Structure 1
Amino acid sequence: MHPAETMELSCADAWRAVTEEDLGAWRLRAASGFTGRANSALAVGDAGVPLSEALDRVCEFAHVHDIPPVVQTVVGSATERAVEAAGWVPNTAHAAGHLVSVLTGPLGGGDDAVSFLPEPTRAWWELVAGTPEPTPAQRHVLTTGEIGHGMAGVTAGAVRAAVVGELLHISRLAVRPAHRRRGLARALMSAAGSWAARRGAARCVLQVSVDNAPALALYERLGFTEHHRYRYWVPAWKDRFL
């Protein structure tokens, strides 16, 4: 399997949907609509059936779980070219951005201003999920696995850290507006690196929309570079999903 596809499987292991089904090497996922990654088919490797049948299975799975049919592909891959040839189109309506850069970089060192909580607090939930009372889907996706709940101060900033093998997967990095431009994002990343190193991680991976210029600039300063990109696709004939 291509290194980008292997990386995508590791990232998927760090971001588990509520319901998952394997279709060959593909992974069908649903989580009540919470995030694109947890509600799309990760189309990497061999689906084990002809592409047209695989895409039909994606649509059937989506219908059963009351979510739009969406396929996530590595940009430039043979699978992506086949999905496009089958009549699917980029999901440009996806609010978080349909084209995503996957970055890898160093773990970084610790920071005493950040603590890692054994259990997420209401303040952590409010920062990473926008609510102190998460839905069952939010709770499942954000806390399943070997997860660290990083907090800067009491309510200033938060991060979700997940370790899968030798990879630290960073997501949901958030700093309250009143506390920005004080180095808290860097501190959260550094503390997450130390937390992950103690659990066997050797490098870091994260995903950022190509349209999120401030985040891309931050991670570039921290030594991250682009590993690959992925894109979301939807069937053109289901125009109500576009």
Structure 2
Amino acid sequence: MFSDVLGELVDLTETDLTVRTVERLVRVPRAEVTHAKRVPDRRRPSATESLERIAAAGWPAPEQAHLGEWLLRAADGWTARGNSALPIGDPGRTLNDAVDAVEAWYRARALPPKITVPDPVGARLTAELTRRGWAPAPRTLVQTAALAEVAAAARPEVAVRLDTTPPDAWFAAVAGFKGTFPDAARHILTGVPLARYAGIYAEDGSPIAVARGVVADGSWLGVSLVTVDPVHRRQGLGRAIVGALARWAADAGASQAYLQVEERNTAAVAAYAPLGFSTHHAYVTWTAP
């Protein structure tokens, strides 16, 4: 009794609608239409969207779900990245309904609803969250660099240990930097199979500098948790530890690196610049009232 026409709606009048299919234009009398449904565009993701998905894979929350193409993440509240929705792609419903669904999902887990909105792809969502009274966190910069440039600018003479499993001293240094350390944190930090836990240690085994590097997709090194003991700062140890991760990732087949740093952390932004890092895009994490 029925048939379908799939394509782009290019004209709509009181009597007819016209759809451009792959092969031709099709005019259909409105009186013969029983159902109409919007089909999301099958477009290639932008560079910002692609890198955000790669970064999400490099910081895997223990609980994840999908709302259409949006990614929902929960990690007992440890870090905004692990406990916010990533609104990349089509949520499969109206924007208003999608935000309602995000709120319900996080409140069911006793977590404040958060959505991390990349710029510039989230303009409509930003307007909707502003209308609802959601509060924005300070902007975070996603910076990228060529691995060859990072390795060349680092200090290879500094001995950096790269462990396949994080030792207790490494975890202790990260816990001191990030505060509380639930089981979900261990899941995030050890959830990528191809990872190295970099450290520079004193003779007594205490950590002087640490960082985490992961290759989640084969071509990108994700650098995180670069931490240097305050007593040993301004000695190039941060550059040395990132450089060691860059050389490891290059050997593993990667060619580029990314990291995330708060825009207001001007000291860190300045420290990464000599390694070749520049801003690829930015994002803002919004929290429901």
Please name the residue that 2:283 is paired with.
230
Task: Check if 1:68 corresponds to 2:121.
Answer: no
Contact 1:148 1:160 in 2 (8 A): yes
Task: Check if 1:104 corresponds to 2:144.
Answer: yes
- What is the letter of the counterpart of residue 81 of structure 1? R
Please name the residue that 1:152 is paired with.
200
Please name the residue that 1:201 is paired with.
254
Task: Check if 1:161 corresponds to 2:213.
Answer: yes
Sequence identity (%): 34
- What is the letter of the counterpart of residue 122 of structure 1? D
Task: Check if 1:37 corresponds to 2:37.
Answer: no
Give the deviation of 1:88 after TM superposition: 3.9
Give the deviation of 1:59 after TM superposition: 0.7
Task: Check if 1:3 corresponds to 2:47.
Answer: yes
Please name the residue that 1:117 is paired with.
163
Q: Which has the higher contact order (CA 8 A, sep 6+)?
A: 1
Please name the residue that 2:227 is paired with.
174
Deviates more, 1:171-180 or 1:123-132: 123-132
Deviation string 1:59-83 (CA, Å, 9 cap, x unpaired) is 1110122110011111232x33234
Larger Rg: 2
- What is the letter of the counterpart of residue 203 of structure 1? Q
Task: For 2:132 and 2:189, locate their aligned partners in 1 and report how far apart those are by CA, in whole Å.
Answer: 29
- What is the letter of the counterpart of residue 148 of structure 1? R
RMSD (Å), alpha carbons? 1.9
Task: For 1:135 and 1:234, locate their aligned partners in 2 and report how far apart those are by CA, in whole Å.
Answer: 21
Contact 1:160 1:170 in 2 (8 A): yes
Deviation string 1:193-236 (CA, Å, 9 cap, x unpaired) is 0111122111100001000001100111111111000111233x
Deviation string 1:73-123 (CA, Å, 9 cap, x unpaired) is 11232x33234235245634x5xxx31110001223383510111211121
- What is the letter of the counterpart of residue 157 of structure 1? A
TM-score normalised to structure 2 length: 0.75
Give the deviation of 1:52 after TM superposition: 1.2
Deviation string 1:149-206 (CA, Å, 9 cap, x unpaired) is 0001241100010112200000000010111111100000100001111221111000
Task: For 2:73 and 2:180, locate their aligned partners in 1 and report how far apart those are by CA, in whole Å.
Answer: 23
Contact 1:90 1:232 in 2 (8 A): no
Within the candidate set 76, 82, 85, 2:125 is matched to 82
Please name the residue that 2:15 is paired with.
none
Task: For 2:253 and 2:110, locate their aligned partners in 1 and report how far apart those are by CA, in whole Å.
Answer: 38
Within the candidate set 159, 168, 189, 2:242 is matched to 189
- Does the residue aligned with 1:130 lie in a helix, a strand or coil? helix
Structure 1, gaps ≥5 residues long: none
Aligned residue pairs total 231
- Does the residue aligned with 2:71 lie in a helix, a strand or coil? strand
Task: For 1:228 and 1:90, locate their aligned partners in 2 and report how far apart those are by CA, in whole Å.
Answer: 22
